[in-house]
Chains A and B, each alone.
Chain A
Amino acid sequence: QQQVRQSPQSLTVWEGETAILNCSYEDSTFNYFPWYQQFPGEGPALLISISSVSDKKEDGRFTIFFNKREKKLSLHITDSQPGDSATYFCAASEITGYQNFYFGKGTSLTVIP
């Protein structure tokens, strides 16, 4: 069973536009949701994260919106730049006891200059 789902699979936006990446999860015990950014040939790197006690987390041009009731979240990238072109993974974890991180299939973002 896919614990974390992402959509769309790929997304293309023009430079300056807002990119919206969606994520949903199954397990209501998940309480921590990091987003990872991956460039070709590299490992994923943490971009921004949110815990389930918050409904919004902002860091510069990156904002996570979280809806606990619907078990959905989204990553908004405002003023998209060509350097933002990468694959973005939504992950979920339950930070109690030992931990594991479940990843979605990723959204491949292309920002056209």
Chain B
Amino acid sequence: GPKVLQIPSHQIIDMGQMVTLNCDPVSNHLYFYWYKQILGQQMEFLVNFYNGKVMEKSKLFKDQFSVERPDGSYFTLKIQPTALEDSAVYFCASSLGTGGISNERLFFGHGTKLSVL
């Protein structure tokens, strides 16, 4: 089935550094998302992105966070500077956006584990 690819699978960085998480969404999808998960628990919504713009963001999406998808390439989440509490698994997801109710679904990548030291 359709796959969302996330690169890298694990990233270790020092606190204060910048990090960019990359996501290759399903090719014909229109909506893109980032979720944060700590210790295999709740999927916390960070942001969704459509037509080149952030449509909605949560309070977890701090000023140090930014997203973009330049020229239809990777959908990226950048954190600058990183903090210890940013350590988590970050999941990228995409959805078609035009499937209509009952047909919409999120396709998730396998996640990028971010470890901030």
Q: Chain B residues near A50: list those with CB within 8 A.
A: 102
Q: Chain A residues near B35: list those with CB within 8 A.
A: 103
A112 within 8 A of B: no
Which residues of A (67-108) have their CB < 8 Å from a CB of B?
87, 89, 91, 93, 95, 98-106, 108
A46 to B106, Cβ gap below 8 A?
yes
Min CB distance B8 to A, Å, is 14
The total of chain B residues at the interface (CB under 8 A) is 28
Q: Chain B residues near A42: list those with CB within 8 A.
A: 110-111
Which residues of A (35-50) have their CB < 8 Å from a CB of B?
36, 38, 40-46, 49-50
Which one of A44, A98, A108 contacts B43 once the chains associate, using CB atoms below 8 Å?
A: A44
A101 to B45, Cβ gap below 8 A?
yes
Question: CB within 8 Å of B: which residues of A?
Answer: 31-32, 34, 36, 38, 40-46, 49-51, 87, 89, 91, 93, 95, 98-106, 108
